[in-house]
Amino acid sequence: MSTVKCVGILTSGGDAPGMNAAIRAVTRSAIYNGMRVKGIYRGYKGLILDEIEEFKTQNVSNIIQRGGTILKTARCVEFKTPEGRKQAYDKLQEHGIDALIAIGGDGTLTGARIFAQEFNFPIVGLPGTIDNDLYGTDTTIGYDTALNTIMECVDKIRDTATSHDRLFFVEVMGRDAGFLALNGAIASGAEAAIIPEISLEKDQLAEMIENGFRKSKNSSIVLVAESEVTGGAMGVAERVKKEYPQFDVRVSILGHLQRGGSPTAQDRILATRMGVAAIDALLDDQRNVMMGIQNDQIVYVPFSKAIKNDKPINRDLLNTLRVSSI
Kindly identify the residues of this chain, within the stretch 122-141, that bind ligand F6P according to CB under 6 A. 129-131
Give the nearest distance from C-beta 233 to ligand F6P in angstroms.
14
- CA 294 to CA 296: how far, in whole Å? 5
Determine whether the annotation assigns residue 190 to a binding site: yes
Chosen residue from 17, 174, 184, 275 binding ligand F6P by CB under 6 A: 174
Three-state secondary-structure class, residue 96 = coil
Question: ∠ at Cα 134 (204, 84), nearest 5°?
Answer: 120
Give the nearest distance from C-beta 326 to ligand F6P in angstroms.
30
Return the active site residues. Answer: 131
φ, ψ dihedrals at 81, nearest 5° = -105, 150
Binding mask 49-68 for ligand F6P (x = CB under 6 A): --------------------
Chosen residue from 105, 122, 125, 178 binding ligand F6P by CB under 6 A: 105
- CA 70 to CA 53: how far, in whole Å? 12
> Is residue 196 a contact residue for ligand F6P (CB under 6 A)?
no
Considering the complex, state which of residue 130 and residue 293 has its C-beta at the smaller distance from ligand F6P. 130
Spatial neighbors of 161 by CB under 8 A, at least 6 apart, are 167, 168, 219, 220, 221, 250
Report the length, in residues, of the chain. Answer: 326
Give the nearest distance from C-beta 16 to ligand F6P in angstroms.
7
- CA 99 to CA 279: how far, in whole Å? 10
> Is residue 232 a contact residue for ligand F6P (CB under 6 A)?
no
φ, ψ dihedrals at 45, nearest 5° = -65, -45
Kindly identify the residues of this chain, within the stretch 296-315, that bind ligand F6P according to CB under 6 A. none
Considering the complex, state which of residue 14 and residue 184 has its C-beta at the smaller distance from ligand F6P. 14
| Residue 8: strand pairing partners | 38, 100
Residues that bind ligand F6P (CB under 6 A): 14, 105, 129-131, 173-175, 226, 259
Q: Which residues are annotated as a binding site for ATP?
A: 14, 75-76, 105-108
